Amino acid sequence: MLEQLWIVIIASLSPVLELRGGIPIGVGLGLDPLLVIITAVVFNALVFFPVFAALGLLYRRLFERFGWARRIIERIHKKGRPVIERYGVIGLVIFVAVPLPVTGAWTGTIIAWLLGLDWRRSFLAVALGVVIAGAIVSAVVLGGISVLNFFVK
């Protein structure tokens, strides 16, 4: 069981699958759905910290040395500021909550960093978005299984 749970953790931490892949994989492996959901949500939300820190480190070590890269980041800050002022952190929550490709904790964290948002508020927004996405994915997966069981039995 622990080996199978590691698969869920790795999928939930990955930038491609995140919890959209971790939950169906864990349920498909026969693990307890509640354990899978909690594990996928927690580990997917925790992606925020290393990604946010790595971007800051990368910026300080690499981007500051190259004027063109710094100008790109500054342009993103300038263009993104009106969007943040209009939608605020709620926009980030909604973006992360929609369980589609290219949305999720990784992209939400990158967006928060690029727009220069406070890391505390950003983490809360990303974490809340992950919880909502986890609920949506769980409902689809468990609902789909129930429908299949209804027609197969």
Dump pLDDT digits (tens) for 39-56: 999 999 999 999 999 998
Query: Rounded mean pLDDT of 10-29?
Result: 95
The answer to whether the beta carbons of residues 29 and 4 sit under 8 Å apart is yes
The answer to whether the beta carbons of residues 52 and 119 sit under 8 Å apart is yes
Q: Across the chain, which distance is largest between two alpha carbons, in Å?
A: 64
Residue 65, H or E segment: none
pLDDT, one tens digit per residue, over 70-101 is: 777 777 777 767 777 788 789 899 989 999 88
Closest CA to 23 of 153, 146, 131, 152: 131
Indicate the pTM of the whole model.
0.87
